[in-house]
Amino acid sequence: MKDGDSHIAPEQAPSGPTPPARPRGSPAAFLLAQVGAHAAARFGELLEPLGLTPAHVGLLRVVGRSSGASQQEVAELLGMFPSRLVGLVDELQERGLIERAASPHDRRINVLLLTDAGERTLTGVGRIARAHQDRLLGALDSQERATLASLLGRIAQDQGLTPGVHPGFARMGPVTQPLSADEPQKRDSD
């Protein structure tokens, strides 16, 4: 099979690489993965000046919302391993954004608390998140944004996604989702 050109798809002259532009739209499922990854990446970039990663922000928010939860509980809430939480908590504590406090009832337990600085940081993150959204959805008017949010919300609920928690931890292996060009549209018919 080293000689053959006979099996090359004739739909494309093999004279050069196909330009990536293709007028036809990609399937919605692929667009979701593509735009979603882009959104996450951009948000991560906007976070860099603050010296925070999306993971930090996720933890910060959870601590801000359910202040006083133990690390075990927070890990469960985020669907990640407690051992992984340790490093994140360390880093946020070094920055003075959260702190550990020993539970009076059970001295094994570390209770996580948001500091004033942490709250201020959270406010700043809010600004960034909204700026991020405005830039991301710049092509859509406000009614279209509402429609998009509604459709996505229904998908999220139907798929059993926990509100406010990214998938990609849990028991799914590495989250790294590399390439995967365009998912086929109608290759099945042949």
Partner DNA sequence: TATTGTTATACTCTATAACTATA
Partner DNA sequence: TATAGTTATAGAGTATAACAATA
Q: Which residues, 85 to 114, sit near its own copies by CB under 8 A?
A: 99, 101, 111, 113-114
Residues 2-41, one symbol each (x = binds its own copies by CB under 8 A, - = not), give: x-xx-xxx--x-xxxxx-xxx--xxxxxxxxxxxxxxxxx
Residues 96-125, one symbol each (x = binds DNA by CB under 7 A, - = not), give: ----x-----xxxxxx--------------
Q: Which two tokens stand for residue 116?
A: 């004033």
Cβ-proximal residues to 168 (8 Å cutoff; 6+ apart), any chain: 175
Neighbours of 95 (CB within 10 A): 17
Alpha-carbon 136 to chain mean position: 14
CB of residue 8 to its own copies, shortest distance in Å = 5
55 lies in the binding site for DNA (CB under 7 A): yes
Written as one string, the DSSP assignment of 51-114 is T--HHHHHHHHHHHHSTT-BHHHHHHHHTS-HHHHHHHHHHHHHTTSEEEEE-SS-TTPEEEEE
Residues 49-88, one symbol each (x = binds its own copies by CB under 8 A, - = not), give: ----xxx-xxx-xx-xxxxxxx--xx-xxx-x--------
Neighbours of 99 (CB within 10 A): 16
- Partner whose footprint covers residue 110, from DNA, its own copies, none (CB < 5 to 8 Å by kind): DNA
- Partner whose footprint covers residue 36, from DNA, its own copies, none (CB < 5 to 8 Å by kind): its own copies
Helices 82-94 and 71-78, packing angle to 10 deg: 110
User: Which one of residues 83, 108, 159, 171 is an interface residue with its own copies (CB under 8 A)?
Assistant: 159
Single out the segment in contact with DNA by CB under 7 A; choices: 31-39, 73-81, 121-129, 143-151.
73-81
User: Which one of residues 49, 107, 138, 171 is an interface residue with its own copies (CB under 8 A)?
Assistant: 138
DSSP code of residue 30: H
